[in-house]
Each structure stands twice: as C-alpha cells, then as structure tokens.
A and B are shown apart, each in its own frame.
Chain A
Amino acid sequence: EAQVTQNPRYLITVTGKKLTVTCSQNMNHEYMSWYRQDPGLGLRQIYYSMNVEVTDKGDVPEGYKVSRKEKRNFPLILESPSPNQTSLYFCASRGRFSDEAFFGQGTRLTVV
C-alpha cells in the first residue's frame, strides 16, 4: 500500500529539548516536503527536498532542519524547540512527474 508514515503522531516536549520527527515513504518519490498547519494560517511549507542530498527552505524554515540521506526518509529536526513551534506537522511526498501529493497522518507537537 502506498503510504507516507510519520512518527510520532503526538509529542509533548519542553522548550529547548531537541527532537526529531521521522517521515518515510514507500513510493520511490523524488519530492518530499514538510508542512505545518496552524489555525487561520493554513498549511505552510517548511522545507522541501527534490532528491537525495538536495534540500532547501520553504516559506517558514526558521527553527527547523531536515536531511535526506536516503530517498525514502526525510526527518524534520527541531534543534531547540520553542512554544511557537507548537503545531500540526505533515510530511508529504510526490513523484517527479506526478501531480498528486501523498500526506502522512500528521504529528501534533506541543512545546511547553
């Protein structure tokens, strides 16, 4: 089954404690992205990757890092989380020649 898997689904952490949200896709997609969803602001792209070892900033990259060492995995790293990073996060993948994006189930992060 084609899917994007994110973990964890829920996470409560404290300010400044480094965390990683994992994302894995099984469709051999070249493109992967991270979005955050906030009330009134909609979905905004944080970072994206066009292939292995190719990553770049999206619209709201501050406070986040990513890596793409393997085609299937695209983890999101918060080196020093702050309360304004409390949000619902989605990983998405998309084939290079495809229009449809596949989304993970989301990670609800709370930073206290």
Chain B
Amino acid sequence: SQQGEEDPQALSIQEGENATMNCSYKTSINNLQWYRQNSGRGLVHLILIRSNEREKHSGRLRVTLDTSKKSSSLLITASRAADTASYFCATDGEMYQGGKLIFGQGTELSVKP
C-alpha cells in the first residue's frame, strides 16, 4: 500500500536551479525519510526528519515537514546534472513488519547541463 503521493511526478530543470519535490502521507508518523534512486538501481538514504522537527538541512538538501498538513518537501539547491534521479519519500509501516517502509510514487528529476 502506498502512503501517499509525490508531486510533481516529473521535474525538468537546468543546472544551477533549485528543485522542489513534495510528498503527502496519510497516517501519523514518527519520522519521514527521503531516498534517491538512480535509474534502475538501489535506493540510497538522503535525509530523515522526525515528527517533532519542522526543517532539516544536509548539504544542498533542505527538508521541511508539516504534520498538520501531513506533507513534506525536499529542496535541492544549486542542482547539478548528477542530481538526475528519482526521489522518494518514505514513512514507517507498523514496526512489527520488519522495519517496513511505505514509499510514495516518486518524483523523477532531470537536471540538464
């Protein structure tokens, strides 16, 4: 089952521009994570924000969380061609399900040189 939706589904920008991706979820959460997937490869953890946090930074990444709206956004500043990938938000399933993560559908980001 999918937790929510990501918006936009696809985003195309020029190098140097900022990219913003949004994620909505349905249930209450302990934390929300963002993962990156290069074409057809494994997902790589980018950043985690806890439910009691509103904003978090890591390098060129900025994540915000609005628990009242059940939404999160990922901002990539000064994008590079190497940022081209799919980006997924993920929230915890029930912990008895072996650390299950529930993923959004993802945003496909294309950064043109």
Question: Which A residues are within 8 Å of any B CB, using their own CB?
Answer: 4, 31-33, 40, 42-45, 48-50, 56, 58-59, 88, 90, 92, 94, 96, 99-106, 108
A104 touching B2 in the complex, CB below 8 Å, given contacts A45-B93, A48-B99, A49-B98 = no
**B40 and A33: CB pair below 8 A?**
no
**B103 and A50: CB pair below 8 A?**
no
CA distance A48 to B96 in the complex (A): 10
Residues of A within 8 A of B88 (CB): 43
Interface secondary structure of A, over-half rule: strand
**A100 and B45: CB pair below 8 A?**
yes
CA distance A58 to B1 in the complex (A): 10
CA distance A71 to B14 in the complex (A): 45
Beta-carbon nearest neighbor of B97 in chain A? A48
CA distance A19 to B97 in the complex (A): 25
CA distance A92 to B42 in the complex (A): 9
A104 touching B42 in the complex, CB below 8 Å, given contacts A42-B103, A59-B1, A99-B48 = yes
CA distance A31 to B93 in the complex (A): 13
**A103 and B40: CB pair below 8 A?**
no
**A106 and B40: CB pair below 8 A?**
yes
B42-59 residues at the A interface, CB under 8 angstroms: 42-45, 48
Contact mask for chain B residues 70-103; partner A; CB cutoff 8 A; 1 contact, 0 none: 0000000000000000001010110011111101
**B42 and A31: CB pair below 8 A?**
no
Q: How far is the CB of B55 from chain A (nearest CB, A)?
A: 18
Sort A-B residue pairs by CB-CB distance and give the 9 closest, nearest first: A48-B98, A31-B99, A94-B99, A103-B42, A103-B43, A43-B103, A31-B98, A105-B42, A100-B45
**A103 and B100: CB pair below 8 A?**
no
CA distance A40 to B42 in the complex (A): 18
